[in-house]
Structure 1
């Protein structure tokens, strides 16, 4: 059948709607799912691009492609909470195997294109990947600051963890995003959503 593999791939992605993340929706009614997160960061990247340090070197379409597929691995590997150090052990290997399996549904060259975009995102070395990673990290941060910070409080996340994992990625990508991060981090501390 024409488009059989493309249809099988998009049907496989439907499972992202059932992968619950540790983060909560803004209204704290439930945990967000990976499909919602992916959509939100794709939109946020478009909004934040003017603030990127290397915006003239960033290909927004590549960033959007990267962000739209980088969490596809969660279908097989599940969501790994970025502040759970024990769960981070072996994360890349688990997710690489998942990426190869899921992207492998597609024919070449798209299968390799997606896999290479995923690898580039994980490496965080190119301007596109640095910016995409910052957007991916700041979105859950913003939801925690403006929500009740349930995912932080239930996991006893400390301010230095947020600074090291989120703040460094954000500041590497944008001075303005870094300034906003510092202001919002202080807000979270003042409101008792994070502890020293």
Structure 2
């Protein structure tokens, strides 16, 4: 090690010294850390239903409407609905596409394409809005309905049929659970 140290110039010796100090500090931090499991929380924080709903307004609207229908059907506030969607609300906007071709001096072709959204002017409100070609609603992947009733097969079928009809979701994607 002495020979290697003698071969290094002053700048390299400084770098090696700082690296050694860094390694010693890192090992020291690893050794000082407490290994007691009491510092680790036993339970993870549970997400509230408002957090799991997401911020998609169309999903919240669907949940509220479905809960209102089921609560009317069951009499009172006895149903809670949770939706799982594949994707959010999506708009397809019209674009104005322009392309031009220009011949260069050496026989090269230069092509340019530009696209800009088509805007419609609303003079009454003094604003421009894009022309919407298609509005795509979110795709519902699954529905969970929790009902505050005694378990009954007829009630489960009736709730599943109501949800399937309202959301156009197949029955196998609907789960009805009863609180006990």
Please state which band the TM-score falls in when normalised by the shorter chain: under 0.3
Structure having the higher strand fraction is 2
Structure having the higher helix fraction is 1
Higher relative contact order (CA 8 A, sep 6+): 1
